[in-house]
Amino acid sequence: MSVIDQMKGLTFLDRPNSYIGRSVPRPNAKRLVQGRGTYVDDLRMPRLAHVAFLRSPYAHARIRGLATSAAKAAPGVIMVATGADIAKVCTPWVGVLTHFKGLKSAPQYAVAIERACWAGEAICAVVANSRAEAEDAIALIEADLEPLPVTVDMETALDPGTPIIHAELGDNLAFERTLDVGDVDGAFRDAAAVVENTFSVGRHTGVTLEPRSIIADWNEGEEKLTVYHSFQAPHMMQDIVCKHLGLPEASVRVVCKDVGGSFGIKVHIYPDEMATVALAKILKRPVKFIADRLESFVSDIHARDHRVKAKMAVSAEGEILAIEMDDLTGIGPYSVYPRTSAVEANQVVNLTGGPYKHQNYRARARVVFQNKVPMCQYRAVGHPIAVMVTEGLVDQAAAAIGMDPAEIRRRNVIRDDAHPSIAASGIKFEKLSHQQSLEKLLTMMDYDGLRKEQAELRAKGIYRGIGLAAFIEITNPSAAFYGVGGARISAQDGCTLRLNPQGGVIAAIGVTEQGQGTESVIAQVVATAVGVPMSDVRVVTGDTDATPYGGGTWACRAAGIGGEAAWQSGKALRANILEVAAVILQSTPDALDVREGKIVDKATGVERMTLAELGRVAYFRPDTLPADLKPEFVVTRHYVPKDYPFAFTNGMQASYLEVDTDTGFVKLLKHWCVEDCGTVLNPQLVDEQIRGGIVQGIGAALFEHCRYDSQGQMLNGSMADYLVPMSSEMPDMEVGHVVTPTASSELGAKGAGEAGTAGAPAAVINAINDALRPFNAHVSVQPARPEEILRALGKV
Amino acid sequence: MKAPVFAYAKPASLAEVFDCLDGGEGVRLLAGGQSLIPSLNMRLSAPTVLVDINHVSALRGISEAGGVVRIGAMTRHHELATSALIASLLPLIAKAVPHIAHQAIRNRGTIGGSLALADPSTELPACCLALDATIIAANRKGERRIAARDFFLGIYETALAPDDILIAVEFPLPGEDAICGFDELARRHGDYAIVGLAAQGVRKGQTWSSLKLTFFGAGDRPLLAEAAAQAVVFGKGIGAAQAALEDALSPSDDGECSAKTKMHLARVLLGRVVETMESGT
């Protein structure tokens, strides 16, 4: 940074042509709204075959036989493959990691061989010339299935007498974690008040706009498998395909073009997708699988499904003294590969009570098998449960001692000047801003004014509620997340930049785009770091042959980790450009800068030459350059966070709503979120991530629920019956920021994609309970359907 | 999923439709397709022949003559919503239509399709009952007139014979001092109602002379709550009317809402709709 810049009070981010911190338009938006996106189903290729799956109608059944001759003879059918056929080319997997001590699971096959363990598990595959012909043939398969006893209710999954799903595992307990910190019993003994509750968070799922989609193509001549995949982590998929199909890395390329939403749904290994890859290998031709809406509901991972019994001790002054909680969660019949299904419960243990100062904490989490759709990581893994438990108890504690809900939070959050700090669960915070966030939120929402309005309306029989929720969010994960447990999932990401002769820059990067704007953020960072107009930057993502090795986009890592790799790479390219320019211009690199695609005099900003001229000389007339000058216009830099396992972010949310106490209907009036994701690279993208996250959090709080019967059948697996949150019911959402950059990187950016989902359910449920307070009624079940509210009110 | 294979016919006249209907059991009429097409794509329905009646012009149009409004079976919900004739003569229909699903569905869905499907949780069958409509069915032998109260027989079950086509609905003009009310409770805007109420009555000053209360989502078909309506008409108070619903309605449990809660919500709706009608707002 120049002396002049320092005098102006500018940081290194405020370069003359900086795009950082600005809501610049997304380069890919125009293409996508014009319908020119390339999703997997848009790809056309010769000899493309289509696979459809026969799925088990039973939640647990022995496959005694599959009569497939009629299906094999049906029009257009290319192959009918059983689980045993697929297993000849694709080995089974077990979803465990070594850092979850005791986690166990059973081998899972791409297509079930002996038993189906959930209603919806694929038990036979049909490949045909069209999807319709494949479905016609499926109807002709005679499956001889012997229904087996089911384990559905997680509450009884561990009881003696409950059928054990995998006999070789000995019981239905997949994983258990306990924690006991400080003097919990003493704190409860000495407390002025103890509040307790049982919180229930229902199963829901991701419902991506583009369903899971894959085309795999085995080219026998090249001995190369190309997988076009609607997915978040292409290199992870490449590694796993290599492992289970026994192929060398050079033989597998995974390409993720446009991806229509993911939310964590598309970061797991799915049996039907692995089967598609195996079929392409067997048939030596491209095979496509697109999950339709109905099979998505019974084959995409589900999320949540937690029951938490918890209590909190507080002093008369409102100090939180201790928290004790017991979480039980059901994950279906297998721990999902390769990230495992123990992560969510583990996060609930880590995050519960996280915003607060207390140091007495006891927790237990048990993860059990059941015959339901497998459960795994979905947006804000574990966070909404931990936040609900904590913030629900905080509100109950405030009520028990007669303290305002804002005041009790003010007294208990970890102080902004107390960092670095360690929470009772052991998680480490570099620097958080709970106090600033709370005060900013209360000002934004006019908390005192709303309380007054609430009281006035209550006198007229109108019941409105205000709900607050403090949250912390795990972002920028280091290798501590998966790598240390043995998962071959990259924690680092690289960015390769190439300056082209006309001055354009190609940026190839390991993080990926699923609609959230990753490519925009990378283009902004690269343009700023190199010194070129954003329109001159083209970003390449989602191709294992074309980008540096990387983890992809999940756990709020793309901007914080990918962005820093892009920043470092951009700086290095600029330095290389200036080295060459200095020779041509008979100057020194220090005296020059790159701005808006031109080499300028650093002090005056006067143009010396364009990048296009530099490119012309370097690429086409290198004979005019000194012999020892070797222009290096391709650079790569990598980044991985090392000093903290995670860059925690923090924030506060609030909900204002009205409960119709006759019908139990909830009208959402307004929602606020103040969050601190460090350096804000693109304010509009961050705000929309927060808003989208809030909507999914509201979905969990009020609408979304995978309902099951006692036989393990999902009852509402269609878009008519599964209630995704829709715009008509959504409130206006106001987003504010506190900026505490992480010192782990130069950019200082942390993640923002999951904060909304983390805090919204607790804010909404707390607001409902605030509205119901005059009736001494309380709900702690999500989704809080009208019937639950009427029940709490004693009206039904 | 993809629909199973079926044959497709596109008749241009009722005579051609009758020819198609002679084809036997697997023949299904395709009106707006907003329920039938999804059921085909889910392979819940497998007709041998799909008879597309979207091009039969005799089935279209809204007209008024001789104290009767006639609505052709292929009239789209969107046309009902934007018809000045409907707004002035059948305000109950005008109030109900915005509650039917979403705009894209209203653009295609038809009144004839809705009545012939007879989903018990939908709006228009209830309106027909409240308005004393007459459903006109036709087959090769001629036309039949069926009173709305005799038309709906159960879930997806009507008085239509396999060779019938529903061609129009006729509504008597509600007349002087007629008032109406409509409300429903749905989890999200555009969802099927948990329970809903279409009400049509005559009230002069503070005095009711008649009232029809038709609930939907509260049984296997739209249900007239006659005793409750009588309680309102005779001024016995809303509590008495609400109590009378117990015998009139028979909602069932579903995963989202129990029958007991649906009864409670029906009572709340009754109170609210009648209060709105009586207050003239």
User: pLDDT per residue over A759-776, tens digit each?
Assistant: 999 999 999 999 999 999
Q: Which uninterrupted H or E stretch holds B153? A: strand B152-154
Residues 57 through 96 of chain B touching chain A, CB cutoff 8 Å: none
Q: How far apart are CA A335 and CA A612, in angstroms?
A: 54
Cross-chain CB nearest to A136 (options B4, B255, B264) = B4
Residues 28 through 57 of chain B touching chain A, CB cutoff 8 Å: 42-43
Q: Is the CB of A34 inside 8 Å of chain B's CB atoms?
A: no
Spell out the alpha helix ranges (H) of A343-491.
343-351, 383-401, 405-412, 434-445, 447-459
Contact across the interface for B264 and A790, Cβ inside 8 Å: yes
Q: Is the CB of A720 inside 8 Å of chain B's CB atoms?
A: yes
Which residues of chain B does A792 touch, with a Cβ-Cβ cutoff of 8 Å? none
Q: How far apart are CA B134 and CA B128, in angstroms?
A: 8
Q: What percent of chain B has pLDDT above 70?
A: 100
Work out the minimum CA distance from B246 to partner chain A, whole angstroms. Answer: 14
- A781: exposed, middle or buried (C-beta count within 10 Å: 0-12, 13-18, 19+)? middle
ipTM score for this prediction: 0.96
Contact across the interface for A703 and B188, Cβ inside 8 Å: yes
Spell out the alpha helix ranges (H) of A624-745.
683-698
Which residues of chain B does A662 touch, with a Cβ-Cβ cutoff of 8 Å? 268
Q: How far apart are CA A756 and CA A761, in angstroms?
A: 9
pLDDT of residue A9: 52
pLDDT of residue A451: 98
Q: Look up the CATH number of domain A3-37+492-639.
A: 3.30.365.10
Mutation for A interface: B242, B268, B273, most A CBs within 10 A: B268
- A228: exposed, middle or buried (C-beta count within 10 Å: 0-12, 13-18, 19+)? buried
Q: Span B203-211, mean pLDDT?
A: 96
Tens digits of per-residue pLDDT, A618-644?
999 999 999 999 999 999 999 999 999
Tell me, yes or no, if the two domains A40-148+207-299 and A379-467+645-792 fold the same way. no
pLDDT of residue B35: 95
Residue B280 pLDDT level (bands cut at 50, 70, 90): confident
Tens digits of per-residue pLDDT, A199-226?
999 999 999 999 999 999 999 999 999 9
pLDDT of residue A1: 43
Distance of CA B21 to the CA centre of its chain: 24
Which residue on chain A is closest to B253 by alpha carbon? A787
pLDDT of residue A723: 97
Q: How far apart are CA A632 and CA A572, in angstroms?
A: 10
| Domain-wise residue ranges, chain A | 3-37+492-639, 40-148+207-299, 379-467+645-792
Q: CB within 8 A of A134, min separation 6: which ones?
A: A50, A51, A52, A76, A77, A126, A127, A128
pLDDT of residue A8: 54
Q: Span B41-56, mean pLDDT?
A: 94
Q: Span A32-61, mean pLDDT?
A: 97
Closest CA to A399 of A144, A159, A193: A193
Contact across the interface for A723 and B260, Cβ inside 8 Å: no
CA-angle at A626, arms to A624 and A628, nearest 5°: 140
The answer to whether the peptide bond before residue A761 is cis (omega within 30 degrees of 0) is: no
Q: Is the CB of A723 inside 8 Å of chain B's CB atoms?
A: yes
Cross-chain CB nearest to B255 (options A130, A294, A715) = A715
Q: How far apart are CA B138 and CA A28, in angstroms?
A: 55
Q: How far apart are CA A435 and CA A439, in angstroms?
A: 6
| A and B: number of Cβ contacts within 8 A | 65
Cross-chain CB nearest to B188 (options A294, A723, A785) = A723
Q: Is the CB of B253 inside 8 Å of chain A's CB atoms?
A: no
Tens digits of per-residue pLDDT, A287-327?
999 999 999 999 999 999 999 999 999 999 999 999 999 99
Strand runs (DSSP E) across A413-550, as ranges?
421-422, 428-429, 463-475, 493-499, 505-509, 537-540
Q: Span A38-49, mean pLDDT?
A: 97
Tens digits of per-residue pLDDT, A510-561?
999 999 999 999 999 999 999 999 999 999 999 999 999 999 999 899 999 9
Q: How far apart are CA A31 and CA A37, in angstroms?
A: 6
Q: How far apart are CA B215 and CA B127, in angstroms?
A: 9
Q: Kindly report the average pLDDT of chain B as a whole number.
A: 96
pLDDT of residue B281: 65
Cross-chain CB nearest to A665 (options B3, B185, B191) = B185
Residue B179 has pLDDT above 50, yes or no: yes
The answer to whether the peptide bond before residue A338 is cis (omega within 30 degrees of 0) is: yes
Q: Is the CB of B5 inside 8 Å of chain A's CB atoms?
A: yes
pLDDT of residue A14: 72
The secondary structure of A255-311 as a DSSP string is: E-------TTGGGS--HHHHHHHHHHHHHTS-EEEE--HHHHHHHSPEEEEEEEEEE
Q: Which tokens hold the place of A775? A: 């009736």
Contact across the interface for B189 and A707, Cβ inside 8 Å: no
Cross-chain CB nearest to B261 (options A728, A729, A796) = A796
CA dihedral over A698, A699, A703, A709, signed as positive or negative: negative
Contact across the interface for B189 and A729, Cβ inside 8 Å: yes
Residue B24 pLDDT level (bands cut at 50, 70, 90): confident
CATH of A40-148+207-299, one of 3.10.28.10, 3.40.50.920, 3.40.50.10380, 3.90.1170.50: 3.90.1170.50
Distance of CA A492 to the CA centre of its chain: 17
Q: Kindly report the average pLDDT of chain A as a whole number.
A: 96
pLDDT of residue A16: 77
Which residue on chain A is closest to B46 by alpha carbon? A136
Tens digits of per-residue pLDDT, A255-272?
999 999 999 999 999 999
Residue A3 has pLDDT above 60, yes or no: no
Domain A379-467+645-792 has CATH 1.10.3720.10: no
pLDDT of residue A5: 47
Strand partners, A463: A659
Q: Which tokens hold the place of A246? A: 């026994």
Which residues of chain B does A131 touch, with a Cβ-Cβ cutoff of 8 Å? 2
pLDDT of residue A155: 97
Q: Which tokens hold the place of A136? A: 């016609």
**B46 to A133, B28, B125: CA distances (angstroms):** 15, 9, 25
Q: How far apart are CA B92 and CA A128, in angstroms?
A: 52
Residue A2 pLDDT level (bands cut at 50, 70, 90): very low
Q: Is the CB of A719 inside 8 Å of chain B's CB atoms?
A: no
Q: Is the CB of B264 inside 8 Å of chain A's CB atoms?
A: yes
Work out the minimum CA distance from B51 to partner chain A, whole angstroms. Answer: 21
Residues 143 through 202 of chain B touching chain A, CB cutoff 8 Å: 185, 187-192, 194
Contact across the interface for B3 and A132, Cβ inside 8 Å: yes
Contact across the interface for B190 and A726, Cβ inside 8 Å: yes
What b/e sequence results for B202-217 when a residue is b if at least 16 CB atoms lie within 10 Å of its CB, and e otherwise? bbeeeebeebbbbbbb
* Through-space distance between the first and last CA atoms of chain B, rounded to whole angstroms: 47
pLDDT of residue A12: 64
Contact across the interface for A787 and B1, Cβ inside 8 Å: no
HEC profile for A763-784? HHHHHHHHHHHHHCCCCCEECC
Work out the minimum CA distance from B256 to partner chain A, whole angstroms. Answer: 8
Q: How far apart are CA A500 and CA A577, in angstroms?
A: 11
Q: Identify the structural domains of chain B with CATH numbers, from first to last.
A: 7-52 (3.30.43.10), 57-172 (3.30.465.10), 178-279 (3.30.390.50)
Residue A697 has pLDDT above 60, yes or no: yes
Which residue on chain B is closest to A716 by alpha carbon? B255
Strand runs (DSSP E) across A574-646, as ranges?
592-595, 598-601, 607-610, 634-639
Residue B23 pLDDT level (bands cut at 50, 70, 90): confident
3-state SS, residue A761: helix
Q: How far apart are CA A344 and CA A23, in angstroms?
A: 33
pLDDT of residue B163: 93
Work out the minimum CA distance from B15 to partner chain A, whole angstroms. Answer: 33
Cross-chain CB nearest to A785 (options B43, B189, B256) = B256
